[in-house]
Amino acid sequence: MSDAPLLEAEAVTCRFGRVTACRDIDVAVHAGEILGIVGESGAGKSTLLRCLAGVVRPASGTVTYTDAGGREHPLHALEDSALRRLARTDWGFVHQHPHDGLRPHLSAGANVAEPLLRCGETRYGRIRTAARHWLEQVELDPVRMDDRVRTFSGGMQQRVQLARNLVTEPRLLFLDEPTGGLDVSVQARLLDLIRQLVARLQVAVVLVTHDLAAVRLLAHRLVVMQQGGIVEQGLTDQVLDDPQHAYSQLLVASELRC
Amino acid sequence: MSAASPGAGPLPGYNFAYLDEQTRRMIRRALLKAVAIPGHQVPFAAREMPLPYGWGTGGLQITAALLGRDDVLKVIDQGADDATNATSIRRFFARTAGVATTERTDAASIIQTRHRIPETPLRPDQVLVYQVPDPEPLRGVETREAEARRMHAAADYGLARVALYEQIAHYGRVRQAYNHPVIVNRRYLASPSPIPRFDNPKLDHSPALQLFGAGRERRVYAIPPHTPVHSLDFDDVPFTVDADDTACSLCGATDTYLDEIVLDDHGTRRYLCSDTDFCRRNRDGGPDHE
Ligand SMILES: Nc1ncnc2c1ncn2[C@@H]1O[C@H](COP(=O)(O)OP(=O)(O)O)[C@@H](O)[C@H]1O
Ligand SMILES: [Mg+2]
């Protein structure tokens, strides 16, 4: 890991009308690192994630991305086209609901092909090979690559979404409750797959979840959010084994109870 | 046939070619902008025309804005001069502008068309006006208008190739028979109006000015003469037109676009040139005949 963070948020505040969804957030993600963001529903996790990915513009504060060449990009000061280019080439974003991140009427292969095409690939053979490769990487049978995504189960759709977000080999992957709507057994398998893939690909990850088991398995570092603010952050084991803030203690205690 | 006699004057009480001078100038300004940015859709304040949308009101307005007293107008629908739509448009301009009309491609200065490019090669002194039902080539893949506009602005046309990817993946080739999108002047993705893919190569480096009008969507766009027009494809799966040596059963041509006519319910078929003017003159041993 290099010293300069890949992504750094400083004093970020996001508002929706009178609601302050996140308040005065400082957070950094380093290359190859998995950062978990936990907190109860409505804590502002998704808003922070969307703000880190440049999708939501903060009311104040900055988010800076440092590219592979060491160049800094102040996300919310970029032109729309420059931001989109970065998002295409350097990031992936996996949504909680597959229909937000996929084109359900297209085949699995086409869904994986699209980001490559949008990065300028113009050879069908290359696209086909890459789509097959990445569907295999997420442990989907390539026999189904020409089937429409809407005929797939929820867990399989999330795998297609993962493949679609990995095909451009991003440096940074945003995951918003990627196992949210799935059965428990399916969740466990998907989490395990994510763990293997990100380790192998050395991609940095920001993982939003309210599932402490998921961050225990995946995250190096942890941010605990409550009512739009960060109440505690640190190494995952540290935070979960010895929570300092009363709210973190409550979260950990409630996990143990169930 | 109902081609008005060239001498008949415009109807009293109407402006020349129906539109008032102000409107004609507004449309011509939009067309100049369209010519300056080949393939880019330019909005214009479309007028109500005495034809329903879908009957070529976009093309109609372009033609009305361009027509001068010396123009000779040809109007075709699917290649035929005598289709209802073509006949009524031709009659409309004969009445409102009193211009000469023709069925001969080589005698026309302005050709308004729906769904075809004439077989007879066009010349630099000719203008081809297309009636376009939907000017947005990204509609099939991106339904959000703002997003489509953003893609045009950034020349981000990967999504348009996704549609081609799907066809090749499913059928081994691109099966889209009509409306295969094109890149104009290496920049803008454009809808060729729904011409058959057979006609796509004729868009490329055409010596004639090509103008496209969509009335309902209030857009015009243009392909200036001698502009490169590339049908969207993959480097390793290039755009092709199916070779087909079926001959026209009237004139015997094997290199024209043919309409298939089903003669009975036993599936007996005939193939005829869709370009009726070309076919007739080919039979007569006309100038196009070699
Ligand atoms: N697009 C939006 N418009 C208005 N309010 C929003 C919007 N998105 C989130 N919020 C509000 O911001 C707060 C944080 O929401 P969110 O970031 O979705 O939390 P979490 O992901 O932790 O459940 C909530 O009060 C929510 O209602
Ligand atoms: Mg959320």
Q: What is the largest CA-CA distance in chain B?
A: 60
CATH of the domain at B12: 3.40.50.11310
B17 vs A30, higher pLDDT? A30
* Neighbour order of strands in the sheet with B188-190: B188-190, B182-184, B229-231
Q: Give the distance from residue B234's alpha carbon to the nearest chain A alpha carbon, in angstroms.
A: 5
Find chain A residues with C-beta within 8 A of B169's C-beta: 107, 109-110, 128, 145-146
CA-based nearest residue to B208, from B82, B99, B101, B113? B113
Q: CA torsion angle for A218, A220, A221, A226 (degrees, to 10)?
A: 10
Full residue range of the structural domain in which residue A212 is found: 1-90+171-258
In whole numbers, what is the pLDDT of chain B averaged over residues?
91
Query: Alpha carbon of B197 to those of B163, B176, B182, B239: distances in Å?
Result: 15, 8, 10, 9
Q: How much is the pLDDT for A45?
A: 97
Q: Which of A127, A154, A169 is the C-terminal boundary of a domain?
A: A169
Residue of A nearest to B170 (CA): A146
Q: How much is the pLDDT for B14?
A: 58
- φ, ψ at A239 (rounded to 5°): -65, -40
Protein residues within 5 Å, CB atom, of ion ligand 2: A 46
Interface of B with A in 167-206 (CB under 8 A): 168-170
Residue B172 is encoded by which pair of tokens? 């081994």
Query: Where would I find the beta strands (DSSP E) of chain A?
Result: 7-16, 19-29, 34-38, 60-66, 72-74, 91-94, 172-176, 204-208, 221-226, 229-235
State whether B183 and B132 are in the same domain: yes
State whether A180 and A258 are in the same domain: yes
State whether A34 and A4 are in the same domain: yes
Find chain A residues with C-beta within 8 A of B162's C-beta: 103, 106, 110, 113-114, 117
For residue A131, the tally of other CB atoms under 10 A from its CB is 27
Full residue range of the structural domain in which residue B31 is found: 1-239
Q: How many domains are there within chain B?
A: 2
Give the long-range contacts of residues B280-286, CB within 8 A, separation 24 or more.
Answer: B280/B251, B281/B104, B282/B248, B282/B251, B282/B252, B282/B253, B283/B250, B283/B251
Amino acid letter at B166?
E
CATH of the domain at A29: 3.40.50.300
User: Cα angle vertex B66, ends B65, B67, to 5°?
Assistant: 105
User: pLDDT tens-digit profile of A92-101?
Assistant: 999 999 999 9
Task: List active site positions of B.
Answer: 39, 248, 251, 273, 279
* Subunit contact B162:A110, Cβ cutoff 8 A: yes
Q: How much is the pLDDT for B176?
A: 87
On the question of pLDDT at B97 being above 70, the answer is yes
Q: Which of A112, A137, A169 is the C-terminal boundary of a domain?
A: A169
Q: Which of the four pLDDT bands, split at 50, 70 and 90, describes residue A60?
A: very high
Do the interacting molecules here have an ipTM over 0.95? no
Q: How many domains are there within chain A?
A: 2
From ligand 1's centre to the CA of A19, what distance in Å? 8
Q: State how beta strands B229-231 and B72-77 pair.
A: unpaired
Per DSSP, the residues of A155-190 read HHHHHHHHHHHHTT--SEEEEESTTTTS-HHHHHHH
pTM value is 0.88
On the question of pLDDT at B289 being above 70, the answer is no
Q: Which of A142, A169, A196 is the C-terminal boundary of a domain?
A: A169
**Burial annotation B153-166 (CB, 10 A radius, 16+ → b, else e):** eeebbbbbbbbbbb
Q: Which 3 state secondary structure label does DSSP give B85? A: helix
User: pLDDT tens-digit profile of B138-186?
Assistant: 998 888 999 999 999 989 999 999 999 999 999 999 988 999 999 999 9
**Which of A13, A15, A18, A19 is the best mutation target for the ligand 1 pocket, counting ligand atoms within 8 Å of the beta carbon and taking the most?**
A19
